[in-house]
Amino acid sequence: MAISSGTLVIWAADSLEKIPQDAQPDAGPDAIEADACRGEVVSAQLAVRVTKSVRDLHIQVSSLTHAEAGATGIDVRPRFVGYVPVEANTPDTPMEEVICNAPCLVADPLLVDETAGVEADSTQPVWLTISVPTDAPPGPWLGTIRLSAGGEKAEVPLRLTVHPVTLPAERSLWVTNWMNLGNFATFYGTEPYTDRFWRVVETFAANMAAHRQNVVLCPNDLIQIFQEADGGFAFDFTRYDRWVGIFDKAGCAELLEGGHLGRRGEGKWETPWFEWRRFPVRRRDGALVEADAETVVRELVTNLLAHVRERGWLDRFVMHIVDEPAPHTEEDYKKKSELVHQWAPGVRFLEAMSLMDARGHLDIWVPQLSHFDEHMDHYLKMRDESGIELWHYTCMYPTGLYPNRFLDFSLAKTRLLHWINWRYRLTGYLHWGLNYWTENPFHEDRLRGDLPPGDSWIVYPGTDGPIDSIRWEQMREGIQDYELLRLLDARSKETGRLEGRADEICSALVPDPTSYSRDQQSLRQARGNVISALQELEG
């Protein structure tokens, strides 16, 4: 039921909804309702429609209180949802699979402004991020959301149910989003590797950890390479170590990804071979020198491996050779892989790939979601026979019926990526674009014309660090869903009760990667069923 206070009309909205600016009041509940397990971070949402223009919409949330425990440390952070343009819809996708017909404005960034301006007869969403401590007493928690604009005031009740289930602090799903180092300097008014640069990196590391990321790409560009007077090479790992240290301290470097050693040649995707990357080599006086690319890569790999061993990182270090090897590049990839394996014995290798069989060349296989779907029996059989580790990745593909995290896709599609992880026991997820921004990411939707909207980034540049998006928030909740499914499966096996229940719930919601439920209430119900089963098992 909408609450009206003169200029302001307020109603509860599902946080799986991207609310359009022309949204009308919904006949929903008379309060903002949310539920969470202990240790979870969950979202809620309300919408404010104004009958005349306002410039000072303000929101404040009271402390949540529990009938027996009083106020304890549940944090509720309100933020206004901003809008970004989608110039063209995701290609090769039926219109029923997108939320708007481009060109259109889509809700995405979570703004840090304390007040918002809203034009007459338009709607402003408000996002609530609710962080529940692991020791929060279960049961109902009550609070009040207070809104004001133009001298008018309104209040909306907030009801949170805390379940007697605790989300494990340990993160068992590997999740990596690759970063653009240059943007840490470009968008924050500094040069690479200055004190400000490193402070910005720290804010991103903290934000990534808060969103349950646990894998960090460590670009080889962080390593300084020198050619000595005798022609030999020397390597300075100072920047590399500082990078790892920052993400270690933040708690999101449980797995270290060594940077790519090769790249596609001039023909890009069509080229059947790769070339070694040309890393800059300098004399001690700073002058660039020409050096044979393969020789430099060989020396880089052997010295990096020695450094990783010395630091005690080998058991959590993986390495890339080239990005996205495919069947037409398989022969060349295997040749280069054999070389790198000789240079780096004992290292595990990970690739986003579409190779049909790279056993002996690859340890962690990361097929793109649609490629995995098309060849699922093949990959799962190889995993069962050979013990390979399987992840999946999305990028500019897949489109069409597949879930992905594009701007014009529903938030449920973003969240369900990690239900797919559980459905097929894919133990990791990879995406290339955390912060590959254009010059104006708030007014442009893609880095290149061939990319779908929003593919290149999932956070935005703020004044001193990242600005979250609602896609980023729902990605975290999808990761939490995965952990709850995993917890239910483990508890079922420990107790001998409700065995197979986690898989039953998951497969009902996601029969396969294209026939998943598009109904956000079905996702809510499936999550509720997982929690109910856990409560039954834990008494």
What residue spans define the domains of the chain? 3-166, 174-469
pLDDT > 90 fraction of the chain, expressed in percent and rounded: 93
Give pLDDT, residue 67. 82
Tokens of 34: 């949310």
Q: How sure is the predictor about 72, in pLDDT bands with cuts at 50, 70 and 90?
A: confident
Can you tell me the distance from the alpha carbon of 470 to that of 473, in angstroms, rounded to the nearest whole number?
5
Average pLDDT, rounded, for the chain: 96
- Asked if 389 contacts 365 with a C-beta cutoff of 8 angstroms, the reply is yes
Tell me: pLDDT of 265 over 90: no
What's the fold here for domain 174-469?
Answer: TIM Barrel (3.20.20)
Give pLDDT, residue 270. 85
Give pLDDT, residue 267. 60
Give pLDDT, residue 26. 83
- Asked if 97 contacts 3 with a C-beta cutoff of 8 angstroms, the reply is no
Calculate mean pLDDT across residues 311-318.
98
Higher pLDDT, 448 or 217: 217
Write the pLDDT tens digit of every residue in 40-53: 999 999 999 999 99
Give pLDDT, residue 167. 98
Distances (CA, A) of 432 to 50, 147, 180: 39, 39, 10
Write the pLDDT tens digit of every residue in 131-157: 999 999 999 999 999 999 989 999 999
Tokens of 14: 């599902």
Write the pLDDT tens digit of every residue in 526-537: 999 999 999 999
Tell me: pLDDT of 29 over 90: no
**Class of domain 3-166 (CATH, top level):** mainly beta
Write the pLDDT tens digit of every residue in 412-448: 999 999 999 999 999 999 999 999 999 999 999 999 9
Tokens of 258: 């060594």
Give pLDDT, residue 1. 59
Give pLDDT, residue 68. 83
Provide the whole-model pTM. Answer: 0.97
Can you tell me the distance from the alpha carbon of 232 to that of 291, in angstroms, rounded to the nearest whole number?
11
Check for a shared fold between 3-166 and 174-469: no
Tell me: pLDDT of 539 over 90: no
Tokens of 369: 């979601």
Return phi, psi of residue 418, to 5°. -90, -15
Residue 160's closest CA among 25, 58, 62, 17?
A: 62
Tokens of 28: 């929903």
